[in-house]
Chain A
Amino acid sequence: MTRKAVGWLAVVAMVSASSVAFAHMALSKSMPAANAVVSTRPATIQIWFTQAPDKAVSRLTLIGPSGEVKLGALTAAADKSIAAPVEGGTPDGAYKVAWQAAGDDGHVQKGEFAFSVRQSR
């Protein structure tokens, strides 16, 4: 009886402990942050996720006031992030970052966020 109870407890504990960790991959933070107003030209766009994104299916696009801004090669880091250097010009204005990535389950997630550049003169 005790052995059975311990077995059930182990199952419940295993399920309870794991239930927190199994959500889909989601964006946890970004640089520049969503809706931020930055005063210096962003050198890199970087996004952190709740799971390690697969570089093979990840995409980053930066759209500025005059259209798409050229980004360098995308890299994936061990800290569950993807990043791309900004190679095109980033004059003052509103920008939109569109991202695509997929985590452990392979479901392709897409999203976007905005930030603005107001360089000090």
Chain B
Amino acid sequence: MGEQLSLEIGAKLFAYAAMVVAVGCAVVLTLARADPTNEMRPYELSRATIRLARVAGAVGVFALLVRAIGHAGAVAGPANAWSLETLRLVIVESRWGGGWRWQIALAGVVAVIGWRVRPTRGIAVFAVAVAGWCIVTPWLGHGASSLWQRATHALHLGVTGAWLGTVMVLAVCLTGTDVRERIEDAGRVIERFSPWALLSAGVAGVSGGVLAWTYVGSVEALVGTRYGQLLVAKLVSVVAIASCGFVNWQRARRGEVPSARLVRIEAGLAVVALAVTAALTETEHP
């Protein structure tokens, strides 16, 4: 049972990370394309981002399939998790089958469009597919109970992706030996991204706060239950991420080059926050 839970949490971490990175790819491609000064020729950064978008879509499909198998294992036991009959039961016959089908399909669409998108075209279609992926993700799990919860979760996922996903994409694109051509463009993208990051982080904080209060409901439950404690851990990691972002924002405001090291730390903390979120969604709330 413990192994199965670990598998589900691990698969969720990859599925969430893939979706968040896909949102970040859409933001980076959009910001890199819409250069009002026309000083920027962001082809290297955009190409690196497109490669990442393809990986995100493929990882998303794989992680969602593993999650579906994990769900099948919870229904029919680990020994029957791989049987087509059980998978059919979960993905086709169960009430949440639509959620599974849509998520897997849209992650697949993101992966396929990732192969077609170019630095100067196809970005809007890619962004729409990614937005669809965010919308259908809450059709399973804690957010599936009502329409307003689905909408709030989808908004939370979208803005979290626009904030942390963009940071993760920039961190990956600025890692490696052959990044010289991307650094200058990334600096311009970060500069343009700052106000959007503030807005996204703000909306993520409000929507996350609303959802947290809905599930926890009291300060006692926040400190006295496993769900509440995980939520506090998530909050701590998000505050740490926001602090890194704030330092970089201050640097950008002073006209200094944003610190790539800080972006990488921020991205690492974002992975921690996603891991805590994956564990949170597998934990019964008070």
Contacts and interface: CB of A to CB of B under 8 A. Distances in A.
Contact of B285 (A15, A21, A23): A23
Contacts of B286: 23
B246 interface: no
Contacts of A108: 71, 74-75
A22 B213 contact: no
A1 interface: no
Interface in B75-105: 75, 89-90, 93-96, 99
Interface in A1-26: 11, 14-15, 18-19, 21-24
A21 B89 CA distance: 27
Contact of B146 (A22, A102, A107): A22
A106 B285 contact: no
A118 B90 CA distance: 40
Contacts of B94: 54, 56-57, 102, 106
A54 B95 contact: yes
Contact of A106 (B71, B89, B284): B71
B214 interface: yes
A22 B145 contact: yes
B141 interface: yes
A19 B140 contact: no
A54 B140 CA distance: 14
A24 B140 contact: no
Interface in B139-165: 140-146, 148-149
Interface of B: 71, 74-75, 89-90, 93-96, 99, 140-146, 148-149, 210, 213-215, 217, 284-286
